[in-house]
């Protein structure tokens, strides 16, 4: 019988760790979920004004780097998955646009002096396949979303391209966390487990695509 390779062992361990993490999150949800649930209940109780308040608060909060997933959860809890995804994704991309244009038009000097390495790295990443590479960045649930938006503002990337690809890249996560919020509201274990599985899938896909592009970049440098 052929002995498993080190790579195969690592893959199995990663999968087992991911399953254990999903079970842990399923049984002991983070405290942020409770705060998001309370916020969702509050905005829902305010009717149409609550929808507007959720959108504005989410937009301004994400523009300064607060997690967009929190608002997707709250929106999904309050209004269900389709509307939750719509509200949270539009608010997130509007917040992204605020940061991007503030950086490009008012804070370019500060951003260039504060984050020179990040700007250089981003410029290198966005030399080609810009649309797909931004999608990869947005698929990751963790990361420096604020710094990415600030640094993108002082690069040569067209605003329409950056915002369009960012918005499409936001949607999978907004769907996952809106589904999670809706699952908490109706007490559906299936919803919750499905949303966590989708989150894991997006992390794996984003990581694979990032590794692929990083490998391609290294290959080009050696040619």
- The tens digit of pLDDT for each residue in 167-202 reads 998 888 888 888 888 877 755 555 556 556 666 666
* Chain center to CA of 43: 23
Identify the band that residue 30 occupies on the pLDDT scale cut at 50, 70 and 90: low
Question: What is the rounded distance in angstroms from the CA atom of residue 98 to the CA atom of residue 62?
Answer: 9
Average pLDDT, the chain: 78
pLDDT at 221: 46
Question: What is the rounded distance in angstroms from the CA atom of residue 24 to the CA atom of residue 20?
Answer: 6
**Whose structure tokens read 């361990």?**
13
pLDDT exceeds 90 at position 98: yes
Identify the band that residue 129 occupies on the pLDDT scale cut at 50, 70 and 90: confident
Name residues whose C-beta falls within 8 Å of residue 195's C-beta, 6 or more positions apart in sequence.
176, 177, 179, 180, 183
Which pTM value belongs to this model? 0.75
Percentage with pLDDT > 70 across the chain: 66
pLDDT exceeds 70 at position 120: yes
Mean pLDDT is lowest, of 14-23, 69-78, 169-178, for 14-23
- If one counts every other C-beta atom within 10 angstroms of the C-beta of residue 204, the result is 14
Nearest CA to 198 out of 44, 90, 72 is that of: 72
- Token pair for 2: 């052929």
Domain boundaries, the chain: 32-218
Question: What is the rounded distance in angstroms from the CA atom of residue 171 to the CA atom of residue 56?
Answer: 18
Contact 123, 162 (CB under 8 A): no
pLDDT exceeds 80 at position 111: yes
pLDDT at 117: 86
Which run of H or E residues covers position 110?
A: helix 108-114
- If one counts every other C-beta atom within 10 angstroms of the C-beta of residue 220, the result is 10
Contact 221, 148 (CB under 8 A): no
């Amino acid at each position: 019988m052929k002995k498993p390779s080190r790579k195969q062992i690592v893959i199995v361990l990663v999968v087992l760790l991911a399953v254990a993490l999903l079970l842990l999150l399923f049984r002991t949800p983070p405290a942020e979920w409770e705060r998001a649930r309370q916020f969702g209940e509050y905005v829902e109780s305010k009717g149409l004004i609550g929808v507007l308040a959720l959108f504005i608060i989410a937009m301004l909060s994400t523009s300064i780097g607060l997690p967009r997933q929190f608002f997707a959860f709250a929106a999904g809890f309050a209004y269900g998955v389709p509307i939750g995804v719509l509200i949270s994704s539009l608010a997130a991309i509007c917040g992204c646009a605020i940061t991007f244009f503030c950086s490009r038009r008012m804070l370019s000097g500060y951003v260039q002096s504060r984050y020179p390495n990040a700007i250089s790295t981003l410029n290198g990443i966005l030399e080609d396949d810009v649309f797909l590479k931004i999608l990869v960045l947005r698929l990751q649930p963790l990361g420096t979303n604020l710094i990415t938006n600030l640094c993108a503002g002082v690069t040569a990337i067209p605003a329409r391209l950056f915002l369009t690809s960012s918005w499409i890249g936001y949607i999978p996560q907004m769907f996952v966390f809106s589904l999670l919020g809706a699952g908490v509201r109706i007490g559906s274990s299936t919803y919750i487990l499905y949303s966590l599985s989708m989150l894991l899938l997006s992390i794996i896909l984003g990581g694979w695509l990032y590794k692929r592009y990083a490998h391609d970049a290294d290959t080009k440098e050696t040619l």
